[in-house]
Amino acid sequence: MTHHPTPNRRLALSGLAATGLALLLRSPAARAQDALLSEDDPGAKGVAYRADAAQVDPARNPLFKPGQQCANCSLYAGEPGQPQGGCGLFYGKEVSARGWCNAWERRPG
């Protein structure tokens, strides 16, 4: 892999800073929307993620059992009562508390 010369790198870093600033200036709701994992994300598709567990087709997802959702999955890191939160599978993204994927694991306790 080749490294970019310094000027390009500086440009890239200032671009990142501008992007970060733009994200900070957006409303919390807009930022929550930005963070939300899309069902079309390749990683999401890889585990058959649906933002609404009620939309999971049991015929195509034999692992799915009614009642399973991100909010009661051991990989979910969201706060109780919040509509979305982090997931151990998707770094930097958030999943819907009502979502589901085929990596669902019962939360202990």
Q: Which chain residues interact with ligand SF4 by CB under 6 A? A: 49, 70, 73, 75-76, 87, 89, 95, 99-101, 103-104
Per-residue b/e over 49-69, b at no fewer than 16 CB within 10 Å?
A: bbbebeebeeeebeebeeebb
Handedness of CA 25, 29, 35, 40 (dihedral sign): negative
CB of 68 to ligand SF4, least distance (A): 7
Cα of first residue to Cα of last residue in the chain, in angstroms, is 47
Nearer to ligand SF4, 10 or 107 (CB): 107
Spatial separation of the C-alpha atoms in residues 85 and 70, rounded to whole Å: 9
CB of 76 to ligand SF4, least distance (A): 4
Nearer to ligand SF4, 34 or 52 (CB): 52
Nearer to ligand SF4, 20 or 46 (CB): 46
CB of 96 to ligand SF4, least distance (A): 8
Q: Both tokens of residue 52?
A: 């609404």
Nearer to ligand SF4, 15 or 88 (CB): 88
